[in-house]
């Protein structure tokens, strides 16, 4: 899947955010807390078709399922449900109807998430002979205006997650708050005929080595292994090979108790010694996790938060060139964030060799009085990117 444009409404700090045109490789810039990571989150949720597992994971990463209020009566499923409000603007559930998180392109909503109130009624289902076949619970939606005047007894709430702009294949699933944990535990989530879109997310911190070893197993002794090693040679040209081996390690948090884990080791030209990759510097590890995350994203999205982390400026252009080439080869759309002027310049230089494939857009608050400081996107043209690569033009 590839997005030609992007529109995100009513998601966290993004009221009505639009990017009219996108490329295969997109760099998102802006000041701290401008919403760059929020855009990546929205695309992750879109790719997962609103899967509650990912919603809870995103909230957990921000400590938003933690109980911050001193209320010992809020436990279990209520705690999870309490965190879901953080997905909406102003960190609260909407108080009126027809207000939903909407993620898609500028022409249609590909994903819609609504907060709703409901009550249940028993409905008799009869067979062909008119005899009672079963009693079925029917969910009756309640408007938010009516809910304010009703007793809380018998009134439930939840999220309705709707996928697809085509009614013929769209699917809506209702997640009741008192059954969120149960549904996740039993993996009852179903996006209908729309399967989840492949998506790899590289966070600002380093991916755990256990995850890296699993990704390595997918490429080991395949043609893609050569691409992984080639990418790592951008940092260390003397690299001969790499493997993950089981080795004893000490756990400082457990009084130095020893355990076993698979760790990456490398061999360099002129040496038979196996060297732990972690001793080679952050750049090697960052490139490894980047290139290993590319293959699972085939046909979907690769999301990179703070692209420049661990990468010396002198190698960033070469890494960008690799990303452009592999994205085209594997039909991947890339979205990366940065607050580094060096990263912007290296992206601009790499994109010159890929006309119409690289797009840079900047997040900032609108200065128009009618927009009330709404976060907007400014897309930079190829000419502006080329100018940025040759000058000290500030686009952060």
Residues 377, 342 contacting (CB under 8 angstroms): no
Q: Tell me which residue range forms the domain holding 86.
A: 49-196
For residue 289, is it within any domain?
Answer: no
Reported as a single tens digit per residue, the pLDDT across 27-73 is 999 988 899 999 999 999 999 999 888 998 899 899 887 654 444 45
Task: Look at residues 196, 224, 241 and tell me which one is the last residue of a structural domain.
Answer: 196
CA distances from residue 54 to 8, 38, 47, 187 in whole angstroms, order as listed: 18, 14, 10, 12
Query: Is residue 213 left, alpha or beta, with left meaning phi > 0 and alpha meaning psi from -120 to 50?
Result: alpha
- Pair 152, 101 in one domain: yes
Query: What's the predicted TM-score (pTM) here?
Result: 0.87
- Pair 314, 256 in one domain: no
Reported as a single tens digit per residue, the pLDDT across 123-154 is 666 666 666 556 667 778 888 877 765 556 67
For residue 110, is it within any domain?
Answer: yes
- Pair 184, 100 in one domain: yes
| Number of folded domains that form the chain | 3
Tokens of 285: 């590890």
Question: What is the band of 168 on the pLDDT scale with cuts at 50, 70, 90?
Answer: low
For residue 92, is it within any domain?
Answer: yes
Question: What is the band of 6 on the pLDDT scale with cuts at 50, 70, 90?
Answer: very high
Reported as a single tens digit per residue, the pLDDT across 198-209 is 999 999 988 887
- Pair 253, 181 in one domain: no
Looking at residue 78, its pLDDT comes to 56
Looking at residue 344, its pLDDT comes to 93
- Pair 373, 302 in one domain: yes
Reported as a single tens digit per residue, the pLDDT across 83-107 is 889 999 999 999 888 899 999 999 9
CA distances from residue 185 to 45, 156, 157, 198, 353 in whole angstroms, order as listed: 19, 20, 20, 22, 48
Residues 361, 337 contacting (CB under 8 angstroms): no
Instruction: Examine the pLDDT at 26 and tell me if it is beyond 90.
Output: yes
Question: What is the band of 118 on the pLDDT scale with cuts at 50, 70, 90?
Answer: confident
Instruction: Examine the pLDDT at 17 and tell me if it is beyond 60.
Output: yes
Spatial CB neighbours of 374, under 8 Å, sequence gap ≥ 6: 15, 16, 17, 365, 366
Mean pLDDT of the chain: 84
């Amino acid at each position: 899947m590839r997005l030609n444009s992007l529109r995100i409404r009513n998601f966290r700090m993004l009221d009505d955010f639009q990017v009219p045109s996108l490329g295969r490789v997109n760099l998102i810039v802006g000041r701290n807390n401008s919403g760059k990571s929020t855009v990546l989150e929205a695309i992750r949720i879109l790719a997962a078709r609103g899967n509650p597992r990912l919603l809870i994971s995103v909230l957990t990463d921000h400590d938003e399922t933690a109980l911050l209020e001193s209320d010992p009566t809020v436990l279990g499923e209520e705690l999870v449900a309490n965190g879901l409000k953080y997905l909406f603007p102003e960190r609260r559930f909407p108080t009126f109807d027809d207000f939903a998180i909407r993620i898609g392109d500028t022409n249609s909503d590909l994903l819609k998430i609504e907060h709703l109130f409901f009550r249940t009624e028993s409905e008799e289902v009869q067979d062909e002979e008119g005899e009672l076949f079963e009693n079925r619970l029917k969910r009756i939606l309640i408007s938010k205006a009516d809910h304010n005047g009703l007793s809380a007894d018998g009134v439930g709430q939840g999220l309705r997650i709707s996928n697809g702009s085509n009614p013929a294949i769209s699917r809506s699933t209702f997640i009741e708050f008192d059954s969120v944990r149960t549904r996740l535990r039993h993996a009852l989530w179903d996006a209908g005929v729309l399967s989840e879109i492949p998506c790899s997310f590289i966070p600002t911190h380093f991916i755990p080595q256990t995850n890296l070893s699993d990704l390595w197993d997918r490429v080991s002794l395949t043609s893609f292994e050569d691409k992984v090693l080639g990418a790592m040679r951008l940092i260390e040209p003397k690299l001969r090979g790499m493997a993950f081996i089981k080795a004893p390690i000490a756990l400082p948090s457990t009084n130095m108790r020893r355990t076993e884990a698979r760790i990456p080791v490398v061999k360099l030209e002129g040496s038979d010694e196996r060297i732990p990759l972690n001793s080679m510097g952050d750049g090697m590890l960052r490139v490894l996790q980047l290139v290993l995350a590319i293959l699972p994203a085939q046909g979907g999205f690769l999301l990179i938060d703070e692209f420049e982390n661990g990468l010396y400026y002198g190698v960033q252009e070469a890494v960008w060139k690799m990303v452009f080439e592999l994205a085209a080869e594997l039909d991947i759309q890339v979205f990366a964030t940065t607050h580094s002027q060096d990263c912007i310049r290296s992206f601009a230089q790499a994109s010159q060799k890929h006309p119409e494939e690289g797009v840079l857009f900047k997040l900032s608050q609108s200065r128009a009085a009618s927009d009330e400081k709404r976060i907007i996107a400014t897309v930079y043209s190829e000419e502006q990117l080329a100018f940025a690569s040759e000058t000290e033009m500030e686009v952060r």
